[in-house]
Amino acid sequence: MDLPRRYKFGLLWTAGLLVFALVPLLMTSRYQMNLAGHILVWGLFAVSFNMLWGVTGMLSFGQALYYGIGAYSVGLLVTRVGAAWFFPALGIGLATAALISLLVGLLVIRMTGVYFTMLTLAFAQLAYQVTLKWRDLTGGDDGIQGIIPPGLLADKTFYYYVVLAVVFFSIWVLKRMAYSPFGLVLRCIQQNPERVRFIGRSVRMNQLRIYVISSLFAAAAGALMAGMDSSIHPDMLYWTTSGEVILMSVLGGINRFFGPFIGAIVLILLEDVIGAKTEFWPIVIGSVILVIVILFPRGVVGEAQHLWSRFRGDSSQRSPA
């Protein structure tokens, strides 16, 4: 890693942090701050998901399961036991996600390709059905309202900055991971699992590891979301939620670390702008996404970097993950 590139990267990182940090100060309405908060949380969720898909080649269609575990841990404990339980609830949510992802992971990693995808979907849908039917505990399709975090966290602006810090820190951790020896092995697994065995590494063990890690960060995103919106609903575990992070990754580009984050920005802004203008927004958004995917097969970030390197006249510039 040469210095100028690190420097450039640090600059981008700081710029991103600055933009999000300025939102509450420059924006006129609370609504816009909430929008920025949503982008941050979905961005983290999508980036953590892409560690599975873009990096390791495991297309999970069931990450909503862990997002939901995080959200319901916070929602249930804060409303039923007490606001002071916000942080313990976060810990319990992460621990539960770790345990469930370990158990589910042991089963799903036995499958590859579309079977893996379908099985992850099946587990998440199962959890969705349980959440829906177990009214006494979860409130069924009403969800849970009035999730107010304790103390200063109850202040929306303060909470926004906490979200900003947690999301940037988490993404930084995931980025380190993507460029670590472990991350290299994950990419190798995507490209040639047989060869990974023949350099002496277990494919399944490493797949299980990243499945648990990715699920932990999904749970963290869910927990943050519960405190931000003050309400949760079983749709957070529905397959459309898993589909959303897949879509964000495709939009931004699955072969770039920050692709899914950019995808989250694009999708959430699209939904916001188009959703406000027409009641046919799902169709319009669907069409816009189709156009983007067809025009930019590498995703927005991938395509931009490709153009940039063509513009600078070096075709060999590549970046891992």
Partner 1 sequence: MNALLRVEQLRKAFGGLKVTDEVSFSIRPQEIAAIIGPNGAGKTTLFNQITGQLPPDGGRIRFEEVDLVGRSPQDIVRLGIGRSFQIASIFPDESVRDNLLAACLSRLNQTRRLWRPYTSHLQAGEEAMAILASLGLESQANRPAYELAHGDQKLLDIGIALALRPKLLLMDEPTAGMSPEERQRTRTLIKKLWQEYRLTLVFIEHDMDMVFGIAERIFVLNHGRLIAEGAPESIRANRDVITAYLGEETG
Of 29 and 316, which CB lies nearer to partner 1 in the complex structure? 316
Question: What's the closest the beta carbon of residue 126 comes to partner 1, in angstroms?
Answer: 30
Of 138 and 255, which CB lies nearer to partner 1 in the complex structure? 255
Binding mask 132-171 for partner 1 (x = CB under 8 A): ----------------------------------------
Of 136 and 194, which CB lies nearer to partner 1 in the complex structure? 194
The answer to whether the beta carbons of residues 236 and 42 sit under 8 Å apart is no
- Distance (Å, rounded) from C-alpha 68 to C-alpha 134? 14
Of 1 and 18, which CB lies nearer to partner 1 in the complex structure? 1
In the beta sheet, which residues pair with residue 144? 232
At 253, the amino acid letter reads: G
The answer to whether the beta carbons of residues 118 and 125 sit under 8 Å apart is no
- Distance (Å, rounded) from C-alpha 295 to C-alpha 65? 32
C-alpha 273: how far from its chain's center?
Answer: 22
Binding mask 261-280 for partner 1 (x = CB under 8 A): --------------------
At 298, the amino acid letter reads: R
Residue 90 lies near partner 1 (rule: CB under 8 A): no
Question: What's the closest the beta carbon of residue 181 comes to partner 1, in angstroms?
Answer: 4
Of 156 and 306, which CB lies nearer to partner 1 in the complex structure? 306
Query: Within a 10 A sphere around the Cβ of 10, how many other Cβ atoms?
Result: 10
Question: What's the closest the beta carbon of residue 63 comes to partner 1, in angstroms?
Answer: 20
Question: What's the closest the beta carbon of residue 139 comes to partner 1, in angstroms?
Answer: 38
Total binding residues for partner 1 by CB under 8 A?
26
Residue 316 lies near partner 1 (rule: CB under 8 A): yes
Residue 216 lies near partner 1 (rule: CB under 8 A): no
Length of the chain: 321
Q: Who contacts 22 (Cβ-Cβ below 8 Å, separation ≥6)?
A: none
Could you tell me what percentage of the chain is helix, strand and coil, using 3-state DSSP and rounding each to the nearest 5?
Answer: 80, 0, 20
Question: What's the closest the beta carbon of residue 200 comes to partner 1, in angstroms?
Answer: 4
Of 145 and 180, which CB lies nearer to partner 1 in the complex structure? 180
The answer to whether the beta carbons of residues 289 and 279 sit under 8 Å apart is no
Question: What's the closest the beta carbon of residue 318 comes to partner 1, in angstroms?
Answer: 6
Of 102 and 274, which CB lies nearer to partner 1 in the complex structure? 102
Query: Which tokens in the block code for residue 64?
Result: 């909503």
Query: Which tokens in the block code for residue 219?
Result: 């749970």
Question: What's the closest the beta carbon of residue 183 comes to partner 1, in angstroms?
Answer: 7
Binding positions for partner 1, 170-209, rule CB under 8 A: 176-177, 179-185, 187-188, 191-192, 194-195, 197-202, 206
Question: What's the closest the beta carbon of residue 49 comes to partner 1, in angstroms?
Answer: 18
Angle, helix 156-178 to helix 203-229, in steps of 10 degrees:
170
Give the dihedral sign, CA 31/33/35/37. Answer: negative
Place of tokens 């916001």: 272
Of 175 and 233, which CB lies nearer to partner 1 in the complex structure? 175
Question: What's the closest the beta carbon of residue 264 comes to partner 1, in angstroms?
Answer: 24
The answer to whether the beta carbons of residues 15 and 25 sit under 8 Å apart is no
Residues making contact with partner 1 (CB under 8 A): 1, 176-177, 179-185, 187-188, 191-192, 194-195, 197-202, 206, 316, 318, 320
